[in-house]
A and B are shown apart, each in its own frame.
Chain A
Amino acid sequence: QSVLTQPPSVSAAPGQRVTISCSGSSSNIGNNFVSWYQQFPGTAPKLLIYDNYKRPSGIPDRFSGSTSGTSATLAITGLRTGDEADYYCGTWDNSLSDVVFGGGTKLTVL
C-alpha cells in the first residue's frame, strides 16, 4: 500500500492530453515538493518534473506538473506512442521521515 495514491492506469489517443493524479496528505505533498518520473520496462526511472512544476533540461514542455493542497498532477499534451510508460510521483514524508512514492500509473496511448 503506497503512501501516495495514483490511478493504476490511464489511457488516451495520440495527440490528446492526459492527466495523472497523485494524492497524499499534509505530511507529504501538502508541505514538500513533488517530483515525477517516467519508467520504461526494465529500465531506470527518468526525472520528468521536480519542485512541483520544474522541468529538467531536455524534457519537452508537453510535460507539466502542478499541485493543489495535498494533491499533485502530471499533465502530458500531444500524446505520442513513445509516451507509453509507467509514471511515478514522489516526495518526502515528514511523519515517516522517508521518501515516498506513488504506486505508479501505466499510460496507454491508444
Chain B
Amino acid sequence: QVHLVQSGAEVMKPGASVKVSCKASGYTFNSYYLHWVRQAPGEGLEWMGVINPGGGGTAYAQKFQGRVTMSVDTSSSTVYMQLSSLRSDDTALYFCAREALPYEYYFDYWGQGTLVTVSS
C-alpha cells in the first residue's frame, strides 16, 4: 500500500530556513509527481508547488517563488521542501501529496503532515 511519511514537527526562529522530508513507499517512486500543500491554523489549503521525482523538475506557486526549494533523493524515495526567510505567518501544517495522474492536479495520497511553528 502507498505511504507518504513526513518528518517531525519543527520550531524555527523568524528568518531561518526549514527543510521537511516526505518518504514514499508502496509504489514506483519515479512515476508520480509529488506536491506540497500547507494549511495555516484555522485556514484552508494552500498549494506550494510540485516536483517530478523522475527528473527533478519543479514548479512553484507564484507566492513562494524565491523562498521555496523542492528536491528529491531517488535512492531513498524521499522528496524535500525547504522554505527560507521564515515569518510568523509561515506557521502551518505542511503536507506532501501524490498527484494521481500527470497534469490532472488531484491528490490521491497524502502524508500525515508536518507542523512548522515560527516563533521568536
Contact = CB atoms under 8 A, between A and B. Distances in A.
Contacts of B103: 92
A97 B45 CA distance: 16
Contact of A44 (B62, B104, B105, B111): B111
Interface residues of A, number: 26
A32 B105 contact: yes
Contact of A101 (B45, B59, B108, B112): B45
B62 A35 contact: no
Given A44-B95, A44-B113, A88-B45, A99 B35 contact: yes
Contact of B44 (A35, A44, A102): A102
Interface string B106-120: 111011110000000
Interface residues of B, number: 23
Interface in A57-110: 88, 90-92, 96-104
Contacts of B50: 99
B100 interface: yes
B111 A88 contact: no
Given A96-B62, A99-B35, A47 B106 contact: yes
Nearest to B59: A97
Contacts of A44: 95, 97, 110-113
A33 B35 contact: no
A90 B106 contact: yes
A33 B103 CA distance: 10
Interface of B: 35, 37, 44-47, 50, 59, 61-62, 95, 97, 100, 103-108, 110-113
Interface of A: 2, 32-33, 35, 37, 43-47, 50-51, 56, 88, 90-92, 96-104
